[in-house]
Structure 1
Protein backbone atom coordinates (compact mmCIF):
# COMPACT_ATOMS: atom_id res chain seq x y z
CA UNK A 1 0.00 0.00 0.00
CA UNK A 2 3.02 2.29 0.21
CA UNK A 3 4.48 4.23 -2.68
CA UNK A 4 8.12 3.40 -2.99
CA UNK A 5 11.06 2.99 -5.25
CA UNK A 6 12.48 -0.15 -6.76
CA UNK A 7 15.30 0.09 -4.22
CA UNK A 8 12.78 -0.82 -1.53
CA UNK A 9 11.81 -4.12 -3.16
CA UNK A 10 14.39 -6.28 -1.33
CA UNK A 11 13.09 -5.02 2.03
CA UNK A 12 9.52 -5.62 0.87
CA UNK A 13 10.30 -9.23 -0.04
CA UNK A 14 12.20 -9.67 3.24
CA UNK A 15 8.89 -9.08 5.03
CA UNK A 16 7.91 -12.58 3.89
CA UNK A 17 10.57 -14.08 6.17
CA UNK A 18 8.56 -13.45 9.33
CA UNK A 19 6.23 -15.96 10.94
CA UNK A 20 3.48 -17.36 8.70
CA UNK A 21 0.72 -14.74 8.54
CA UNK A 22 -2.62 -16.12 7.35
CA UNK A 23 -4.13 -12.63 7.21
CA UNK A 24 -1.29 -11.02 5.21
CA UNK A 25 0.59 -13.83 3.41
CA UNK A 26 1.86 -11.66 0.55
CA UNK A 27 3.51 -8.44 -0.55
CA UNK A 28 3.02 -6.83 -3.94
CA UNK A 29 4.24 -4.30 -6.44
CA UNK A 30 1.81 -2.60 -8.83
CA UNK A 31 2.50 -0.52 -11.92
CA UNK A 32 -0.03 2.30 -11.59
CA UNK A 33 0.02 3.13 -15.30
CA UNK A 34 -0.79 -0.37 -16.56
CA UNK A 35 -2.49 -1.83 -13.45
CA UNK A 36 -0.27 -4.93 -13.63
CA UNK A 37 0.58 -6.33 -10.22
CA UNK A 38 3.02 -8.98 -8.99
CA UNK A 39 2.29 -10.49 -5.59
CA UNK A 40 4.86 -12.58 -3.74
CA UNK A 41 3.66 -15.11 -1.17
CA UNK A 42 5.33 -16.66 1.84
CA UNK A 43 4.75 -20.03 0.17
CA UNK A 44 7.22 -19.08 -2.57
CA UNK A 45 4.82 -18.34 -5.40
CA UNK A 46 4.44 -15.21 -7.49
CA UNK A 47 1.13 -14.10 -8.99
CA UNK A 48 0.80 -11.77 -11.97
CA UNK A 49 -2.54 -10.12 -12.60
CA UNK A 50 -4.04 -7.02 -14.12
CA UNK A 51 -6.11 -5.31 -11.44
CA UNK A 52 -8.23 -3.33 -13.91
CA UNK A 53 -9.10 -6.07 -16.39
CA UNK A 54 -11.30 -9.05 -15.64
CA UNK A 55 -10.60 -10.22 -19.21
CA UNK A 56 -6.99 -11.07 -18.30
CA UNK A 57 -6.62 -14.26 -16.28
CA UNK A 58 -4.12 -14.32 -13.40
CA UNK A 59 -0.93 -16.32 -13.81
CA UNK A 60 1.62 -17.65 -11.35
CA UNK A 61 5.15 -18.93 -10.92
CA UNK A 62 5.57 -21.62 -8.23
CA UNK A 63 8.58 -22.25 -5.98
CA UNK A 64 10.33 -18.93 -6.60
CA UNK A 65 13.40 -17.96 -4.58
CA UNK A 66 13.36 -14.66 -2.69
CA UNK A 67 16.06 -13.36 -5.07
CA UNK A 68 13.88 -14.20 -8.08
CA UNK A 69 10.91 -12.47 -6.41
CA UNK A 70 13.01 -9.31 -6.12
CA UNK A 71 14.11 -9.62 -9.76
CA UNK A 72 10.57 -10.08 -11.11
CA UNK A 73 9.11 -7.30 -8.97
CA UNK A 74 11.93 -4.99 -10.13
CA UNK A 75 11.10 -5.77 -13.76
CA UNK A 76 7.55 -4.59 -13.10
CA UNK A 77 8.68 -1.52 -11.14
CA UNK A 78 10.86 -0.53 -14.10
CA UNK A 79 7.84 -0.80 -16.39
CA UNK A 80 9.34 -3.61 -18.48
CA UNK A 81 6.03 -5.31 -19.20
CA UNK A 82 7.34 -7.12 -22.28
CA UNK A 83 10.11 -8.74 -20.21
CA UNK A 84 7.60 -9.63 -17.52
CA UNK A 85 5.30 -11.34 -20.02
CA UNK A 86 8.20 -13.47 -21.33
CA UNK A 87 8.52 -15.41 -18.06
CA UNK A 88 7.06 -18.93 -17.90
CA UNK A 89 3.85 -18.03 -16.09
CA UNK A 90 1.33 -20.80 -15.45
CA UNK A 91 -2.44 -20.23 -15.58
CA UNK A 92 -4.34 -19.35 -12.41
CA UNK A 93 -3.32 -18.41 -8.92
CA UNK A 94 -1.58 -21.71 -8.05
Structure 2
Protein backbone atom coordinates (compact mmCIF):
# COMPACT_ATOMS: atom_id res chain seq x y z
CA UNK A 1 0.00 0.00 0.00
CA UNK A 2 1.74 3.11 -1.15
CA UNK A 3 1.01 6.15 0.99
CA UNK A 4 -2.19 4.45 2.05
CA UNK A 5 -4.57 5.25 4.79
CA UNK A 6 -6.34 3.15 7.36
CA UNK A 7 -9.45 3.23 5.18
CA UNK A 8 -7.53 1.50 2.38
CA UNK A 9 -6.58 -1.57 4.42
CA UNK A 10 -9.76 -3.60 3.69
CA UNK A 11 -9.20 -3.18 -0.05
CA UNK A 12 -5.56 -4.15 0.35
CA UNK A 13 -6.48 -7.35 2.22
CA UNK A 14 -9.20 -8.11 -0.36
CA UNK A 15 -6.41 -8.47 -2.93
CA UNK A 16 -5.61 -11.79 -1.24
CA UNK A 17 -8.96 -13.22 -2.30
CA UNK A 18 -7.96 -13.44 -5.95
CA UNK A 19 -6.36 -16.43 -7.62
CA UNK A 20 -3.26 -17.89 -5.92
CA UNK A 21 -0.29 -15.76 -6.92
CA UNK A 22 3.00 -17.58 -6.33
CA UNK A 23 4.99 -14.51 -7.34
CA UNK A 24 3.16 -12.04 -5.06
CA UNK A 25 1.50 -14.10 -2.31
CA UNK A 26 1.22 -11.30 0.27
CA UNK A 27 0.23 -7.73 0.97
CA UNK A 28 1.75 -5.61 3.71
CA UNK A 29 1.75 -2.32 5.59
CA UNK A 30 4.86 -0.67 6.99
CA UNK A 31 5.37 1.92 9.70
CA UNK A 32 8.04 4.06 8.05
CA UNK A 33 9.17 5.60 11.34
CA UNK A 34 9.88 2.33 13.15
CA UNK A 35 10.41 0.03 10.11
CA UNK A 36 7.93 -2.52 11.48
CA UNK A 37 5.88 -4.35 8.88
CA UNK A 38 2.83 -6.61 9.00
CA UNK A 39 2.49 -8.91 5.99
CA UNK A 40 -0.62 -10.98 5.25
CA UNK A 41 -0.50 -14.06 3.03
CA UNK A 42 -3.23 -15.70 0.98
CA UNK A 43 -3.16 -18.82 3.15
CA UNK A 44 -3.96 -16.88 6.34
CA UNK A 45 -0.49 -16.32 7.80
CA UNK A 46 0.43 -12.94 9.26
CA UNK A 47 4.08 -11.95 9.74
CA UNK A 48 5.41 -9.19 11.99
CA UNK A 49 9.00 -8.12 11.43
CA UNK A 50 11.34 -5.15 11.62
CA UNK A 51 13.02 -4.39 8.31
CA UNK A 52 15.88 -2.38 9.83
CA UNK A 53 16.82 -4.50 12.85
CA UNK A 54 18.20 -7.94 12.00
CA UNK A 55 18.47 -8.71 15.74
CA UNK A 56 14.67 -8.74 15.99
CA UNK A 57 13.40 -12.11 14.86
CA UNK A 58 10.29 -12.24 12.66
CA UNK A 59 7.10 -13.61 14.20
CA UNK A 60 3.96 -15.10 12.70
CA UNK A 61 0.34 -16.02 13.35
CA UNK A 62 -1.39 -18.75 11.40
CA UNK A 63 -4.99 -19.13 10.24
CA UNK A 64 -5.83 -15.44 10.56
CA UNK A 65 -9.17 -14.36 9.15
CA UNK A 66 -9.36 -11.43 6.77
CA UNK A 67 -10.95 -9.46 9.63
CA UNK A 68 -7.98 -10.23 11.88
CA UNK A 69 -5.57 -9.21 9.13
CA UNK A 70 -7.33 -5.86 8.80
CA UNK A 71 -7.34 -5.38 12.59
CA UNK A 72 -3.62 -6.04 13.01
CA UNK A 73 -2.61 -3.93 10.02
CA UNK A 74 -4.76 -1.12 11.40
CA UNK A 75 -3.00 -1.41 14.76
CA UNK A 76 0.35 -0.88 13.01
CA UNK A 77 -0.95 2.12 11.03
CA UNK A 78 -2.28 3.65 14.28
CA UNK A 79 1.09 3.22 15.97
CA UNK A 80 -0.16 0.60 18.44
CA UNK A 81 3.09 -1.33 18.19
CA UNK A 82 3.31 -2.30 21.88
CA UNK A 83 -0.18 -3.83 21.80
CA UNK A 84 0.58 -5.54 18.49
CA UNK A 85 3.73 -7.11 19.90
CA UNK A 86 1.81 -8.49 22.90
CA UNK A 87 -0.24 -10.85 20.74
CA UNK A 88 0.51 -14.58 20.69
CA UNK A 89 3.05 -14.49 17.86
CA UNK A 90 5.05 -17.62 17.11
CA UNK A 91 8.76 -17.38 16.24
CA UNK A 92 9.87 -17.28 12.61
CA UNK A 93 7.92 -16.98 9.41
CA UNK A 94 5.78 -20.12 9.88
TM over 0.5: yes
- Give deviations 1:36-91, integer Å, cap 9, x for gaps: 00000001000000000000000000000000000000000001111101110000
- SS at 1:82 equivalent: helix
The count of residues paired between Structure 1 and Structure 2 equals 94
SS of the aligned residue for 1:12 comes to helix
- 1:62 and 2:62 matched: yes
Name the Cα RMSD after superposition.
0.6
SS in 1 for 2:49: strand
Hey, which bits of structure 1, 4+ residues long, moved more than 6 A? none
Is 1:79 aligned to residue 79 of structure 2? yes
Q: What are structure 1's unaligned runs of at least 5 residues?
A: none
Q: Which runs of 5+ in 2 are unaligned?
A: none
